[in-house]
Amino acid sequence: MLKIDNLKAGIEGLEILKGINLSVKKGEVHAIMGPNGSGKSTLSSVIAGNENYEVISGSISFEGEDLLDLDPDQRAHKGVFLSFQYPVEIPGISVSNFIKAAITEKRKVLGLEAMSAKDLLLKMKEKMDLLDMQKGYLSRNMNEGFSGGEKKRNEIFQMAMLEPKLAILDETDSGLDIDALRVVANGVNKLKNSENATIVITHYQRLLDHIIPDYVHVLHNGRIVKSGGKELAHELEKKGYDWITKEADKKWG
Amino acid sequence: MGLIDNIKEYQHNFAVNSKKEKAYLSFLEQGFPNTKNEEWKFSSLKKIISNDFSIEDKGIEINTEEINHNSLNFNYKIIFVNGVLDSKPIIKGVKINKHVDESPSFSNAFSALNAAFSNTGYEINVDPNIIIEEPIEILFLTKNSSNNFIQYRNKIVLGENSQIKIIESVKNIGDQYCFTNMQTNIKLNRSSNIEFNKLQNNNDSQITIDETSLTQEENSNSTVNTLLFGGMFTRNNLNFAQNGEHCESNMNGVVILDDNEFGDNHTYMDHKNANCESNELYKGIYLGKSRGVFNGKIMVQPDAQKINAFQANNNLLVSDNASINSKPQLEIYADDVKCSHGCTIGQLDENALFYMNTRGIRKEDARAILTFAFASEALEKISINKIEDLAKDLIAQKLKVDLSF
Ligand SMILES: Nc1ncnc2c1ncn2[C@@H]1O[C@H](COP(=O)(O)OP(=O)(O)OP(=O)(O)O)[C@@H](O)[C@H]1O
Ligand SMILES: [Mg+2]
C-alpha cells in the first residue's frame, strides 16, 4: 500500500530525514517510536504533503501511485489521513460544518453522490457514540478551546468519518487520560480491517497494549535504525533508546 | 473639462440668496477634497473627477423585468427608477414619501453639493408605538446613458417606541460611470429601534459617496450593517450622535474587495450622554489589488460617564498587492469610561490551510471557508435571515467558490 524509498527531506537547507525506507501493506499496523526530534512528525508531514518540507530525494508511492506528485487534498481523497500531533484550531467553523465540507468534497472528487444532511448527521452520531463523545462537540468551533485530549479525540472522530485507507496517528495518545486512551484505541481498532493500514507514532507501550502493532520501527536522527515485532516496543520500554542509538551513531557518524 | 467644470456650468441656475445657492457657493469655495485633507489622505478622487459627468442625466428606460431582477424582492419595496419614485408599500403607521428638503444643512463639500443639487430620495416617518418586523427594501436603480452624477437625500424619523428594519441598495445597470452622492439622516426618538442594512454590491463603474447620520434620543437602539462587496470607489461616512442616556449604537461592516476596487469606511461615534453603549466591528477582506481605508473615531464628551465603547477593525490581506490603512481615533473627556479598541491586519493561517487540505478540502475552498469564518462574526447582528443568506452567497461569489456557508 505505502512504499517509502530512501526518502530524504528537510526544511530550509536542514536535512531532517536522511534516507527512510518503509513498506506498509494492507491490514498491517506499524508503530514508529524514537527520541524527541528524531523526525517522526516530519515524516508524517511529508507523507501528508506539507509544502513547508522539501523532498530532497527518494520516493513515496501509495497504491502504486507517486504520492509526491499530489497535493495534500488529493492525497486525502486517495485515502491518506494524518492525525496531527498538534491539531490546529480553526475559529469560526463548527466541527459539523468542517466535516461536512471535507466529506462533500471527497465525494465530489470521487464521483459519488452527495450525502444527505440526515445521513451525514446519523453517521456523525454513530461515530461519536463509538468514541464516547458528547453531542455538544458538533456545534463547537473546530478545536477552538478544546482541551488537549478533546483535540486528539476529535482527530480520531474525523478519521472515523473519512474512513481512510492509511491512517497515520502522530502521538494520538499524548494528552489522553487513561480512560480516553482506551476508548480512542478501541475506536481505532474498530475502524481497522483487512483493507486499511495504520501507522502509530508513540513514545509509550501503553498505546501499543491496545493497538497491537505487527511491526515496530525505531527512528533516530532521520533514519529507521531498527525494526522488529511488537516485542521490540517492550524492550524499548525497559531499556530506553541508548543501546540502539549508540550503535547507530557509530555506523552513521 | 472635468466634474468641477461641469458643476460650474450651473452658476446661474440658483435663486439668488436661496439656501440652495448658499450650498452651491459653499461647495465651490471648498472644492472636492484632495489627499492633503487629513480625512481624505488615502482616498484620492483625482482620477474620478477628471472625467465629465452629467448632473441631469435622465437615464434610459428600465423595464419591469429589469426592476424585478435587481430587486431583492422583499414584500415591502420602495423603488426609485432613474431617480423617480416608482413604487412604495402601504404600511399602517408608516408614511413614505419622495423627500425634497427645502432647507438642507451641510457641513462638508459633499453635503453642500448634495444640498445644492438633490431633488430626490425617500422620507419615512414611523408613527409612535408602531413595530414593523418585516424589512423594507429600498432600491435606487438607474440605467445611465452618459457618466452621471446623482444626489440622493433621504430622511427617516422613528416615533417613540417604534421599530423598523431597512435594507438599502444603489444600483446602476447602465454601462457608464455612475457617481452617487447620498446623504441620509435618521432620527430615533425615545425608545425607538432601527436596523439599517446597506448593501453595496456594485460593479467597477460605480462611485459612491455615502453619508449616513443617526441622532438618537434616550433609550433608543440603532444598528447599521454595511456590506461593501464591490464598486470602483466607495466612501462611507457613518455618524452616530447619542442625545440621551441609555442609548445603544451598533455598527458592523464586512468589506470584500477585489481587483482595483477601493473602499473607505469612516465612522464617528459621538457619546454625548452618560450610560450609553456602542459596539463597532468591521471586517475587511482585500483581494487582488484592492485597497481599503478604515477610520473609526470615538468621542466621549465630558459629561458622558459610564460609557461602554467597543471598536474592532480586523483585516485580512489575501493578496500581496492589496492594502489597508486602518486608524482608530479615541477622544475621551470623561473619566468613568470603558473603552476598548483594536485593529489587526493579517493573512490566512497557513497551518490551518494545510490542516484543512489534509482533510480533503481543496486549497481554494479552504481559503474561502477560513475567509468566511473570519467575516462571519460581523454578520451576526443582521436579524433578517434572507439578508444574511444573501450576504453568504455574495461572499462565496466574491471568493469565486461554489460553497454554501
Ligand atoms: N518547521 C521546522 N523548522 C525548523 N526545524 C524543524 C521544523 N520541523 C522540524 N524541525 C526539526 O526537525 C527535527 C525533527 O522534528 P520532528 O518534529 O519531526 O521530531 P519528532 O520525532 O516528531 O519529535 P517529538 O517526539 O518531540 O514529537 C527536530 O530537530 C526539529 O527541530
Ligand atoms: Mg512529533
Ligand 2 centre to CA of A202 (Å) is 9
Look up residue B393 and give its three cell numbers. Answer: 452567497
| pLDDT of A168 above 90 | yes
Which tens digit of pLDDT belongs to each residue from B94-119?
999 998 777 778 999 999 999 999 98
Q: Give the pLDDT mean for A194-201.
A: 97
Interface check for A82 against chain B (CB to CB < 8 A): the answer is yes
Q: Tell me what pLDDT residue A252 has.
A: 81
Distance of CA A140 to the CA centre of its chain: 23
Q: How many residues does chain B have?
A: 405
Which tens digit of pLDDT belongs to each residue from B321-375?
999 999 999 999 999 999 999 999 999 999 999 999 999 999 999 999 999 999 9
Give dist(CA B337, CA B329) in Å, integer: 15
**Any residues with Cβ below 6 Å from ligand 1, and which?**
A 11, 16, 34, 36-42, 52, 85
Range 340-359 of B in CB contact (< 8 A) with A: 349-352, 354-359
| pLDDT of A247 above 90 | no
Residue nearest to ligand 1 atom 2, measured at CA: A11
Ligand 2 centre to CA of A16 (Å) is 12
Find residue A239's DSSP bridge partners. none
Q: Give the pLDDT mean for A92-109.
A: 93
Give dist(CA A156, CA A152) in Å, integer: 7
Q: Tell me what pLDDT residue A28 has.
A: 97
| pLDDT of A128 above 80 | yes
Look up residue B234 and give its three cell numbers. Answer: 466607495
Q: Would you say B134 and B76 are in contact if contact means Cβ atoms under 8 Å apart?
A: yes
Q: Tell me what pLDDT residue B292 has.
A: 98
A2-252 CATH = 3.40.50.300
Supply the DSSP string of A184-241, one letter for each residue: HHHHHHHH--TT-EEEEE-S-HHHHHHS--SEEEEEETTEEEEEE-THHHHHHHHH-S
For A23, A77, A133, A160, A178, the CA distances from A164, given in Å and listed in that order, are 17, 9, 20, 8, 26
Q: Would you say B254 and B379 are in contact if contact means Cβ atoms under 8 Å apart?
A: yes
Closest residue in B to A98 (Cα) is B356
Interface check for B403 against chain A (CB to CB < 8 A): the answer is yes
Extended strands (E) in B333-374 = 337-346
Q: Tell me what pLDDT residue B187 has.
A: 98
Chunked mean pLDDT (size 10), chain B, 405 residues: 95 91 96 96 96 93 96 96 96 94 85 94 98 97 95 97 98 95 97 98 96 98 98 98 98 97 98 98 97 98 96 96 96 95 94 96 93 91 92 91 78
Give dist(CA B375, CA B228) in Å, integer: 12
B377 contact residues in A (CB cutoff 8 A): 92
Question: Residue B130: phi, psi to the nearest 5?
Answer: -95, 125
What interface predicted TM-score (ipTM) does this complex get? 0.96
Which tens digit of pLDDT belongs to each residue from A18-49?
999 999 999 999 999 999 999 999 999 999 99
Give dist(CA A72, CA B310) in Å, integer: 41
Residues with Cβ within 8 Å of residue B131, at least 6 apart in sequence: B162, B163
Ligand 2 centre to CA of A128 (Å) is 26
B357–A109 CB contact, under 8 Å: no
Q: How many CB pairs under 8 A join A and B?
A: 72
Q: Tell me what pLDDT residue B366 has.
A: 94
Which tens digit of pLDDT belongs to each residue from A202-227?
999 999 999 999 999 999 999 999 99
Residue nearest to ligand 1 atom 6, measured at CA: A11
Q: Tell me what pLDDT residue B56 has.
A: 87
**Closest CA of chain B from A51, distance in Å:** 9
Confidence of residue A72 (pLDDT cuts 50, 70, 90): very high
| pLDDT of A253 above 90 | no
A73–B370 CB contact, under 8 Å: no
Which residue ranges make up each domain of chain B?
Answer: 3-353, 354-405
Q: Tell me what pLDDT residue A119 has.
A: 95
